[in-house]
Amino acid sequence: MKRKTTHFLRLLLCVLLHALATTAIAQTRPVTGRVVDSVGQAMPGVTVVAKGTQVGTQTTADGAFAFNVPESSTTLIFTMIGYKTTEANITAGGMTVRLNANTSALQDVVIVGYGTQRKVTVTGAIATVATKELLQSPVSNLTNALAGRLPGLITTQRSGEPGVDASTLYIRGIATTGTATPLIIVDGVERPIDYVDPNDIATFSILKDAASTAVFGMRGANGVVLVTTKRGNVGPPSVNFTMQGGYQEANKMPKYLNSYDYATLRNEAVRNDNPAASLPFSAEQLEGFKNGTLPNTNYYDFIMQASPQSSANLNISGGAPNVRYYISAGYSRYAGNYKYVKDNPEGNNTNSIQSRYTLRANVDVDVTKTTLVSIDLSGLFAARNAPNTSAATIMNLANRLPPTNPIFNPNGSLFGNGTYTQNIYGEVTNRGYQVYYNSTIQGTFATKQKLDFWVKGLSVRGAMSFDNTFQPVTTYGRNYAVFSPIYNASGQVTGYAQTGADTRIDPNGGLGYGEHRRRTYGEVSINYDRSFGKHAFTGMLMANRQKDVIQSRIPYAKQSLMARATYNYDLRYLFEVSAAYHGSENFPKGQRYGLFPAVSGGWVISEEDFLKGNRAISYLKLRGSYGEVGNDQGGGDRFLWFTSWAGATQYWFGPSASQANGWAQGAIGNPDVTWERGRKANVGIETKLWGELFGLTLDVFHERRSDILSGRNTLSDVFGQSVKQQNIGRVVNKGIDLEFSHEQRFGKFRYMIKPNVTFARNKILDYDEQPRAYPWMRRTGHPVGTKFGLLYDGLFVDQAEITRSAQQRFSGTVFPGDIKYKDLNGDNVVDAFDETVIGYSRTPEFMFGINLQTSWNGIDLTMLFQGADRTDVRLDNEAVYEFFQEGKVKPIHLNRWTPERASIATYPRLHYGKNENNHRASDYWVRSAAYMRLKNMEIGYTLPRAVTTRWKMKSARVYVNGTNLLTWDKLTDFDVDPEVGDGNAAMYPIQRVFNAGVYVTF
């Protein structure tokens, strides 16, 4: 392996040296100049090439270019996406070239499934985000840079712990009761994007409708994320280096009452439950908590702190006429928020730390004028260090342990007893640690052969990739003892009662092999691209196959035959048809393949004579699509068609009555199991007004998902056996997504406003719901994930109201101040028959982003506001219930009901421990989780060219940025992050990041 690596590095070095030497051999002369736009603003990133050659460069941050061209060259060609290609004669001295915006966007290229298309000819619903926007978010996981940036994309983040902080992505919401996350494709192969370095990304797109996802067959129903990485261009080596560092801290930590208020309310709760009970805290203890002589422990403040983060990337790109290359290396380190992580006998670091190295090399070689060979290699080497206890456990302790308990005893030992056996300091520092490794190697070999000598515009392409991921886990565990002081009659400590025992770490540790995954993928395609006057045709026919070997499981395999054909007349009338015949070994023999067709069309109205030259409407296109796509990711059992058998209860058998092993039938298989089917319709409009002054893209979509796998809920118990999931579920999903843009320049000042909105609402049509006694109990007809429970009807004022109200039989006795619920069916009893809709799903129906950008004289400012609405959270246990599992209380509990505060109370009567009447699912515990964040902000300064030239640099930029800087929400009383999941809120906090960096090009 080492020898192969050495040979590979030598090959890359030869490619680099060849690129450097190529331009030095020929007779050349220097050319310099500057590129500006229509208002004189400098234009960085413009490609400049000597006409008739492959010698070129790109403009720097201030629009300047300088390179050597052959003596025979007389003309330069200037190109940039969104601007008209311009040619200019080479002149002595510095040239100034002006590029005009191509408002019709005819030159823009969009990445589609297994190919590219000119943006004007695209008839599907596709959204893209620029790489520079992704780089503005200093996050450890790429998925956390996407919120609010793309219309049609809904994201949720449930943790901020380094290494396990990925956001969940949904394209146009949820349209199934099964798996709803999208397919992710990186450089043409199904791969995760979590740890792709944003510096390596060339394009990032999401495919939203059937026209754009049909070629993915039974994997396209949930939408597709497409990512391509950068490749080299002809020209001298361009070296880019970026380095950044900063710190991260908890965006929000809940606030709990101090020990005095805790003890006061606990006394009250105990007395409420039993007026004759002895109080847990005496007057002397209350005074001690009040004056600070007794403990007042804030567990979050004790265990959490700000932590450092840093990352760097170095990449080199360029190429000779026949060889182009892009080589990149990256490093990042993100530390967790825990304190005291080395306070253990061994001195081991038990903090949560994610360290990552990434390598990438993309090389393209023109073997002949018609043959292209591409080799892509990438590697990920990551290690995640973490305490030998889960973040959920640590956060739950911080939420539950009462402030009246100390962390350390007077003699320095860890406090604990038979009730509180866990100590938060001990869990972080003295339980040992784990290291989660991720070693991933990905390689793709592809070749493309043009067949113009046979049929003009015809080509064939083949590709083969191999990915190998190994994720072992090492564990170095130990335990710790806790001690409870023993007091004499005068209050002095006379000894300690021990719970548990201290152990030491075994230096050999323990090794878990985690997941080992090997993926092979191959494809071969025939492509056609030809224009005849005003008629343009493209076509693709492809066959591919993917095989996954995971651990020792039977290999997973998928294969497909797909086709796509497009036609446009005069770039005005557009038509596309696509289909995939896709198969999976998950399904029974004879039923493994399905056809997934789609058709779409478009009309570029602005190219019609009656609109051409219109100053107001610069570009206007209508498009629509309809098709069927699939989803094969439902069901927890891989082979649902197979009836399972397993060992059962032993029995006595034979004349000697010996015991024999039992054997019994398990769940009965489903011989007709198939994939989910999604029938999608989409209508869209794209327009630009007054050039680039205003822009709008609006899509309206509708999907009907059928054959969703669901358990049989109406099967009679008389049947006497369980059955595997059936394709009986149906869901409808519909909504809109839109993006608006406004851009303006005034001399050197430029600003842009680009908001986007996504609204997606689903409804369950059928999932074999068991019969309900009343219509309000039915889940069918409501969105997936809708919350059900009882309806809050205030607090009981007195015993008389309790007597005349419906009976609530959840606990032995209902007291004044307890929660009163609505008796929906009027039977004078509140029970499960009165449960109804109490809140929205935890996945938002509505998500938005507002991107603001401005620049002036080298200074640039960007701000991204992002938010969500029509989503609710229902908390329970330690998050909101008073004294749950002898836990603590929040400021919300100060507003509890007492006889004196009955008229102003907003929280029920206090109880010690769980109360079955109050502490149950109801809309009292539901809050709107709508929020808006200042998700990202960046201020940068590009150094003047006079400065960078003196320092031998092409360009240099310094910047400061941050993430999750401000949050506005409606959860003041619950005091939790608006993206927390339903439940006890034991979530490692989402991070607020402050960061500074430098980006240099040589």
User: pLDDT for 578-589, tens place per residue?
Assistant: 999 999 998 999
**767 neighbors 729 (Cβ within 8 angstroms):** yes
Q: In the 3-class helix/strand/coil scheme, how is 446-493 assigned residue by residue?
A: EEEEECCCCCCCEEEEEEEEEEEEEEEEEEEECCCCEEEEEECCCCCE
- Cα–Cα distance between 145 and 820 in angstroms, integer? 44
Residue 232 DSSP class: -
Q: Token pair of 481, please? A: 């003892």
Identity of residue 119:
K
pLDDT per residue over 354-389, tens digit each?
Answer: 999 999 999 999 999 999 999 999 999 999 999 999
Average pLDDT over residues 83-111: 77
Decide: helix, strand or coil at residue 13.
Answer: helix
Q: Looking at the predicted structure, is the pLDDT value of residue 490 above 90? A: no
Token pair 């998925």 in the structure block, residue: 143
Run of H or E including 767: none
- Cα–Cα distance between 244 and 998 in angstroms, integer? 6
**188 neighbors 225 (Cβ within 8 angstroms):** no
pLDDT confidence of residue 4: 41
Q: How many CB atoms lie within 10 A of CB 285?
A: 18
Band of pLDDT at residue 1, cut at 50, 70 and 90: very low
Cα-to-chain-centroid distance, residue 673: 30
pLDDT confidence of residue 2: 41
Cβ partners under 8 Å of residue 579, min gap 6? 214, 215, 562, 563, 564, 595, 596, 597, 598
pLDDT per residue over 840-861, tens digit each?
Answer: 999 999 999 999 999 999 999 9
Identity of residue 170:
Y
Q: Token pair of 814, please? A: 């209902």
Band of pLDDT at residue 8, cut at 50, 70 and 90: very low
Run of H or E including 247: strand 235-250
pLDDT per residue over 719-737, tens digit each?
Answer: 778 888 999 999 999 999 9
Average pLDDT over residues 766-786: 95
pLDDT per residue over 123-145, tens digit each?
Answer: 999 999 999 999 999 999 999 99
Q: Looking at the predicted structure, is the pLDDT value of residue 7 above 50? A: no
Q: In whole angstroms, how large is the CA radius of gyration of the chain? A: 32
Q: Token pair of 132, please? A: 């520079």
pLDDT confidence of residue 61: 74
Q: Looking at the predicted structure, is the pLDDT value of residue 20 above 50? A: no
Run of H or E including 969: strand 955-969
Average pLDDT over residues 759-788: 95
Q: Looking at the predicted structure, is the pLDDT value of residue 25 above 70? A: no
Identity of residue 78:
F
Decide: helix, strand or coil at residue 269.
Answer: helix
Residue 200 DSSP class: G
pLDDT per residue over 606-643, tens digit each?
Answer: 999 898 878 899 999 999 999 999 999 876 788 888 88
Q: What percent of the chain has pLDDT over 90?
A: 76
Q: How many CB atoms lie within 10 A of CB 75?
A: 13
Q: Token pair of 221, please? A: 């129903």
Mean pLDDT, the chain, rounded, equals 91
CA angle 675, 721, 788 (to 5 degrees): 65
pLDDT per residue over 882-921, tens digit each?
Answer: 999 888 999 999 999 999 999 999 999 999 988 999 999 9
Decide: helix, strand or coil at residue 865.
Answer: strand
**413 neighbors 447 (Cβ within 8 angstroms):** no
Q: Looking at the predicted structure, is the pLDDT value of residue 246 above 90? A: yes
Q: What percent of the chain has pLDDT over 70?
A: 96
Q: Whole-angstrom distance between the N-terminal and C-terminal Cα of the chain?
A: 33
- Cα–Cα distance between 36 and 40 in angstroms, integer? 5
Higher pLDDT, 837 or 48: 837
pLDDT confidence of residue 102: 65
Residue 530 DSSP class: E
Of the listed ranges 230-239, 334-343, 697-706, the least confidently predicted one is 230-239
Q: Give strand pairing partners of 984.
A: none
Band of pLDDT at residue 45, cut at 50, 70 and 90: confident
Band of pLDDT at residue 514, cut at 50, 70 and 90: confident
CA angle 363, 364, 368 (to 5 degrees): 145
- The pTM of this model reads 0.88
Whose CA is closest to 299, among 190, 385, 415? 415
Whose CA is closest to 140, among 378, 303, 331? 331
Higher pLDDT, 9 or 598: 598
- Cα–Cα distance between 360 and 17 in angstroms, integer? 18
Q: How many CB atoms lie within 10 A of CB 571?
A: 15
Q: Token pair of 913, please? A: 């421990």
Cβ partners under 8 Å of residue 321, min gap 6? 22, 53, 54, 55, 234, 366
Band of pLDDT at residue 930, cut at 50, 70 and 90: very high
- Cα–Cα distance between 145 and 130 in angstroms, integer? 12
In which region does residue 925 sit, left (phi positive, over 0), alpha (psi from -120 to 50) or beta (all else)?
alpha
Pairing relationship of beta strands 493-499 and 168-171 according to DSSP bridges: unpaired
Decide: helix, strand or coil at residue 884.
Answer: helix
- Cα–Cα distance between 450 and 446 in angstroms, integer? 13
Higher pLDDT, 718 or 681: 681
Decide: helix, strand or coil at residue 308.
Answer: strand
pLDDT confidence of residue 261: 97
Whose CA is closest to 519, among 595, 590, 478, 465? 465
Q: How many CB atoms lie within 10 A of CB 781?
A: 13
Burial of 587-623, coded b for 16+ CB within 10 Å and e otherwise, reads bbeeebebebbbbbbbbbbbbeeeeeeeeeebbbbbb
**205 neighbors 126 (Cβ within 8 angstroms):** yes
Run of H or E including 3: helix 2-25
Decide: helix, strand or coil at residue 528.
Answer: strand
**221 neighbors 676 (Cβ within 8 angstroms):** yes
Band of pLDDT at residue 592, cut at 50, 70 and 90: very high
**270 neighbors 277 (Cβ within 8 angstroms):** yes
